[in-house]
Amino acid sequence: MSKLKGKIAIVTGGGSGIGKAISLLFASEGATIHILDLNKTGAEEVLHEIVSLGGKAYISILNIADHQEVLTAVQAIGKVDILVNNAGIAHVGNIENCKEDDFSRVFDVNVKGAYNALYAVIPQMKVNKGGVILNLASIAAIVGISDRFAYSMSKGAIYAMTLSIARDYINDNIRCNSISPARVHTPFVDGFIAKNYPGKEEEIFDKLALSQPIGRMAKPNEIAKLALFLCSDDAAFITGNDYPIDGGFIKLNN
Ligand SMILES: NC(=O)c1ccc[n+]([C@@H]2O[C@H](COP(=O)([O-])OP(=O)(O)OC[C@H]3O[C@@H](n4cnc5c(N)ncnc54)[C@H](O)[C@@H]3O)[C@@H](O)[C@H]2O)c1
């Protein structure tokens, strides 16, 4: 049980949901975890859980959309073997419901946030002669999902960013892949249901669960297991790919 022994991993948004599951699993496999998150309470809880299980973790409380904050935090960390670009926010709406500040907020966190972390980490990885990057995209990047205009565009950018980084740094021994989950039951899903469908929470939750042909949402730990595989040496021959993990959403929904 030490697929990441001695590795240093940054997990953005590691204080909740998928990022929390990735942080806990990677720590249990021997990685030292650096959580970059806006949410101090969530990040501290994950930190304490990792430490109480005998692992190593640190947190930096910052806004991933802030270029200088991310650069300063990553420079303080030093050597980085693994970057998981996971921090992200939702937006429900078509273009008519997408106000300029909604659009900017989603792109600042989901797209610029990933750019900020990559910009800070890649030079480090080059000096260290290698590294692994994993981006959280979404099935929304590849399938037309109703009322997800800005969100889908932001995840399409993540999909393309993955290919670009994988291509540019293949000779530096840096691998880069993405994961595209369908719905995963996290505070992210509970939050956008509560915000956008007040009074209909249960009905919408069931509808979203059943939109995966397998009949339920994924569990965060199921995403973390795929992340572990892709970030470990077991996946040494894998780069420039996206991995849907979707309960049949993309190919069996007919
Ligand atoms: N849950 C799903 O159904 C689902 C499906 C596909 C893709 N994803 C993607 O997976 C990723 C994680 O989603 P989740 O469901 O675990 O979400 P979550 O809301 O449970 O957790 C997101 C974390 O990111 C942090 N964060 C948000 N904005 C930030 C900012 N500006 N700076 C720093 N940290 C910030 C939050 O504080 C939180 O800890 C996101 O990129 C999301 O788009 C989620």
pLDDT tens digits for range 143-168 = 999 999 999 999 999 999 999 999 99
CA of residue 136 to ligand 1 center, whole Å = 9
First to last CA, the chain: 40
Question: Residue 254 domain-assigned?
Answer: no
C-alpha to C-alpha distance for 249 and 142, rounded to whole angstroms: 11
> Which atom of ligand 1 is the closest one to the Cα of 220?
16
C-alpha to C-alpha distance for 80 and 106, rounded to whole angstroms: 26
pLDDT digits (tens, 9 = 90+) for 30-89: 999 999 999 999 999 999 999 999 999 999 999 999 999 999 999 999 999 999 999 999
Mean pLDDT confidence for 178-202:
94
Pocket residue to mutate for ligand 1, from 186, 214, 219, 226, most atoms within 8 A of Cβ: 186
Question: Residue 253 domain-assigned?
Answer: no
Helix (H) or strand (E) holding 221: helix 220-231
Pocket residue to mutate for ligand 1, from 12, 16, 84, 211, most atoms within 8 A of Cβ: 16
Q: Which of 151, 159, 169, 197 is catalytic?
A: 151
Residue with tokens 């890649």: 122
Of the candidates 124, 128, 127, 108, the one whose C-alpha atom is nearest the C-alpha of residue 116 is 108
For 176, the token pair is: 């880069």
Question: Residue 124 domain-assigned?
Answer: yes
For 65, the token pair is: 């959309």
Task: Give the confidence band of 182 by pLDDT, cuts at 50, 70, 90.
Answer: very high
Question: Residue 188 domain-assigned?
Answer: no
Q: Please state, in angstroms and as integers, the Cα–Cα distance from residue 15 to each residue in 33, 48, 89, 155, 156, following that order.
A: 11, 11, 13, 20, 24
Query: Atom 42 in ligand 1: which residue has the minimum CA distance?
Result: 88
Mean pLDDT confidence for 202-211:
95
Cβ-contact 5, 78 below 8 angstroms: no
CA of residue 66 to ligand 1 center, whole Å = 16
Look at residue 1 and tell me whether its pLDDT is greater than 70. Answer: no
Query: Atom 15 in ligand 1: which residue has the minimum CA distance?
Result: 188
- pLDDT attached to residue 46: 98
Q: How many domains is the chain partitioned into structurally? A: 1
Q: By residue range, what is the domain housing residue 15? A: 8-182+220-248
Q: Is 151 among the residues known to form the active site?
A: yes
For residue 97, the one-letter residue type is N
Question: Residue 110 domain-assigned?
Answer: yes
Helix (H) or strand (E) holding 45: helix 40-52
Task: Give the confidence band of 254 by pLDDT, cuts at 50, 70, 90.
Answer: confident
CA of residue 228 to ligand 1 center, whole Å = 18
- pLDDT attached to residue 214: 97
pLDDT digits (tens, 9 = 90+) for 60-72: 999 999 999 999 9
Instruction: Check which CATH number belongs to the domain holding 165 and give it.
Output: 3.40.50.720
Question: Residue 228 domain-assigned?
Answer: yes
Question: Residue 141 domain-assigned?
Answer: yes
Question: Residue 204 domain-assigned?
Answer: no
